[in-house]
Structure 1
């Protein structure tokens, strides 16, 4: 059939959009046309340079903006799926037999579920499942389901055949996402019903609907990717080789690690500052990049701990209060990035009075924070993070060790990867079933920032990034493109 474009469909959210943009750019580097199919709600976040490339195209799917209210987010997600499905059917019908027909559709596994795969299957377009998260979380979910280790006793570690011993499951691993009280509290603060699965206590991705899945249950991506010809994952064999090999053996189809999918400037700026404003559209913030650089320049090398929970997840108000008290009680200087809407309120959380108490030891950023810049500055010595995959690989590539505070989904396994497999950090608490205490946070910060061995291991891991985009990812990218042709 005519055509040869590779279409890429991200899920909702910038954490899914940005890796998809980078994947498109990699496809064009092999002289293949890449078309990004994106909701109009996310289209403004696509850089102008992407539009200008001769081998990239952007198809914008009209979508209604999300409503407020108790069911606003969930209704928006469901309507967005229906709009996208109808739009794709009309688009594919109009392009039948043309030079713009897709040879393959790379579907984020969060949109591949049901309708998306069915639409492309109906038109005879091959699909590839795309994980914007890493290989460890997918492999651990699959192994936990296949092994059905739901009878683990307290104090026991259950090894998972085919995976590293240090990644064995514990009772905490299995029960960590069943904290109904925490989920209900978050849902009430957000205006959702008590049974909402869109909060940080859920193991299901934001907006997928249905009851939360517990560890040990069938992973949500298994059935939808059944018809996919391959899986592509935002990682590389250098970083997560055992997990990619496990997945390939289990699913019986090619599994390629073509990441980490970070901007070109990230790979070209080894040893120097990465300027976020040159890479991603700037958003509203109370500081400029110059403000951040001046503040970091005033601090000793490796002395600053950076605190951020990403753009789409967050703590409860009580947890934010505990964190504020811990940062006050710690002796280390810190940058704390707080997103709008954090703490479950429209206004967002703010630690009133904290700056006056700690003075020049704190830089509190409300709104957009230049994370790549912060992580690449020599004064940054630690990262208190939720361990979202984008944040995880950004810090790994710059040799910044972690104090992991996972909140939902793949973040728990990312934290386990960081603390147990790569050994480049610690968990803020070993028990996910209880509220984290102030003393644990203070102790964790001190332990992380004073541990030279952890810093050395983090620097060693970052070494695989110093030569630019990992060689193993280049090899898998070529294998992926060759497979399609």
Structure 2
């Protein structure tokens, strides 16, 4: 075996699933992995996951029963029992989700080096850092402020700074400052995650060179440590589905959340729709539009002629009363859990109205699905900008995201995304690029990480921001 590696997952499925896939990839390279999770996530672990799992007490103030002191004690006790007597070789490193930066002090007691792990895109990290570097707060209307080292098309504009603050507590228990607060950071602020990754000997991202080479290079240069692209960390069946069959989300992810439809219901509905004709609408499990904007969206869907699947979050409190009778079989409305991998991978799906969370964004890109971007918070705005400006496979639902999104905005966006043939061709090129399985550049990133961590010199650089 190549040695042991700890992988610490943050809170929520958007953190857990990439960490599980990372463990699988590391295991295939002869590392022994230990996945550290909050005990509150234990029920979300699929039975098919075969790597070692260490549950610790929740340390998140938005998780019922959280006990940060107990969580720290759980982790330290485990490390002491296994590595404190020097009989057991210490782990090679701990790959720490940025939400779990508090564990650094515990690992340092055992001289275990830290790899800072980002489940959001390298683009978002680079843009947040770059905005701080160029002091973006004073950008004037009509001005474009370039970030040296990043593509010109990602230059910051005044409209990039216009954002609404989502209501409610920060989902997933992200830190109470910066991006994780649930609202946008003040332009020019030091990104909150910098403190969380300080002291790391390398960075790791759920992305690959094919998608984000300039952003990975920028982060490596700016942070002064290697930045490995090892993803997107999506399930094996996403990259290599069984011959002639569709992806089953429930089999892969072990989700036991409630829904008003089955996977078979969704497949039968999609099978009856023309290739590339369906718009899928979903905002993930943590954020969403306002109640008023949901009504504007419903109005747009009732007036467009496009077939659609709308997955309405369980916690949104919104019901699309009357919409189903208006649209008939043209629309499929899902309340609760939706089989997203199945939907974006089906040949009938051509567009995705998305909040542009990184997992959803990368799932769509890999299947050649165009994106109507409706970002809600933080990193999603940067993902949306990359999709629209850099990859040119999407459209932003509104220019001024500080104002309520209107029905006409949504209707215009739907027609732009679903009707733009050139955009469709560019999206199809990404589908072809990723049609041969897990990206070769991500495999190369994992191999480079293995070389780095098994042969690291006695003295290595660490992330340090003065």
**TM-score (norm: length of structure 1):** 0.88
Distance in 1 separating the partners of 2:196 and 2:280: 37
Contact 1:203 1:408 (8 Å CA) reproduced? no
Please give the secondary structure, in 1, of the residue aligned with 2:145.
coil
1:67 corresponding residue in structure 2: none
Aligned counterpart, 2:459 = none
Q: Does 1:329 align with 2:303?
A: yes
Deviation at 1:166, TM superposition (A): 0.4
Q: Which moved more, 1:272-281 or 1:391-400?
A: 272-281
> What is the aligned counterpart of 2:248 among 269, 275, 278?
275
2:179 corresponds to = 204
Residues 453 and 202 (structure 1 numbering): CA distance in 2 closer, same or farther, change over 3 Å?
farther
Out of 422, 439, 463, the residue aligned to residue 470 of structure 1 is 439
Q: Is the 8 A contact 2:93 2:114 kept in 1?
A: yes
Return closer, same or farther for 1:382/1:41 CA change in 2, 3 Å cut-off: same
Match of 1:174 among 154, 161, 175: 161
Mark the CA change 1:74 to 1:318 in structure 2 (over 3 Å): closer, same or farther: farther
Partner of residue 455, structure 1: 424
Contact 1:317 1:349 in 2 (8 A): yes
Look up the match of 2:109. 122
User: CA–CA distance in 2 between the matches of 1:241 and 1:152?
Assistant: 27
1:340 corresponds to 2:340: no
1:372 aligns with 2:363: no
- Picking from 42, 48, 60, the partner of 2:55 is 60
Q: Which runs of 5+ in 2 are unaligned?
A: 455-466
The equivalences for 1:189-338 within 5 A come to 204-205=179-180, 213-269=185-241, 273-282=246-255, 283-338=257-312
In structure 2, C-alpha distance between the alignment counterparts of 1:82 and 1:212, rounded to whole Å: 29
Any conservation in 2 of the 1:4–1:99 contact (CA below 8 Å)? no
Aligned-pair CA distance for 1:462: 2.1
User: Using a 3 Å threshold, how does the CA distance of structure 1 residues 156 and 441 change in structure 2: closer, same or farther?
Assistant: same
Change in CA separation of 1:371 and 1:196 when aligned onto 2, cut-off 3 Å:
closer
Does 1:24 pair with 2:23?
yes
Bigger Cα displacement from structure 2, 40-49 vs 241-250: 40-49
* TM-superposed deviation, 1:385: 0.3
Give, in whole Å, the separation in 2 of the partners of 1:224 and 1:291: 43
Measure the CA separation in 2 of the matches of 1:264 and 1:216: 39
List per-residue Cα deviations over 1:167-215 (Å, max 9, x = no partner): 0001122242xx4xx54xx23xxxx6xx99979x9952268xxx96323
Aligned counterpart, 1:104:
93
The answer as to whether partners of 2:171 and 2:286 remain within 8 angstroms in 1 is: no
TM-score (norm 2): 0.91
Q: Does 1:358 align with 2:357?
A: no
SS at the partner of 2:326?
Answer: helix
1:93 equivalent in alignment to 2:92: no
Number of residue equivalences: 449
Match of 2:376 among 407, 429, 433: 407
- Deviation track 1:140-188 (CA, whole Å, cap 9, x = no partner) reads 1111111112221101111111000100001122242xx4xx54xx23x
Structure 1 contact 145–218 (Cα < 8 Å) conserved: yes
In structure 2, the partner of 1:47 is 46
In structure 2, the CA distance between the partners of 1:80 and 1:464, relative to structure 1 (3 Å rule), is: farther
Partners of 1:202 and 1:408 within 8 A in 2: no
Q: CA deviation at 1:127?
A: 0.6
Q: Flag the 1:6–1:198 CA change in 2: closer, same or farther, 3 A.
A: closer
Q: Which runs of 5+ in 1 are unaligned?
A: 65-72, 343-347
Distance 1:104 1:77, change over 3 A: farther
How far did residue 77 of structure 1 move?
7.9
The 3-state SS of whatever aligns with 1:18 is helix
User: Partner of 2:94: helix, strand, or coil?
Assistant: strand
Give the C-alpha shift of residue 303 in structure 1.
1.1
Structure 1's consecutive aligned runs of 4 or more residues displaced over 6 angstroms after TM superposition are 195-199
Distance 2:29 2:303 in 1: 52
Gap change, CA 1:272 and 1:393, over 3 Å in 2: farther
Supply the distance in 1 between the matched residues of 2:341 and 2:66 (Cα, whole angstroms).
34
What CA deviation, in whole Å up to 9, does each residue of 1:403-426 have, x standing for no partner?
Answer: 000001110000001000000010
Matched, 1:10 2:5: no
Cα deviations across residues 121-156 of structure 1 (Å, max 9, x unaligned)?
122111100001111000111111111122211011
CA, structure 1 residues 147+253, in 2 after alignment: closer, same or farther (shift >3 Å)? same
**Alpha carbons of structure 1 residues 100 and 364: separation in structure 2 relative to 1, 3 Å:** farther
1:433 deviates by 1.5
Looking at structure 2, the residues matched to 412 and 40 of structure 1 have their Cα atoms a distance apart, in angstroms, of 31
Per the alignment, in what secondary structure is the counterpart of residue 365 of structure 1? strand
Over the residues paired in the alignment, what is the CA RMSD in angstroms? 2.4
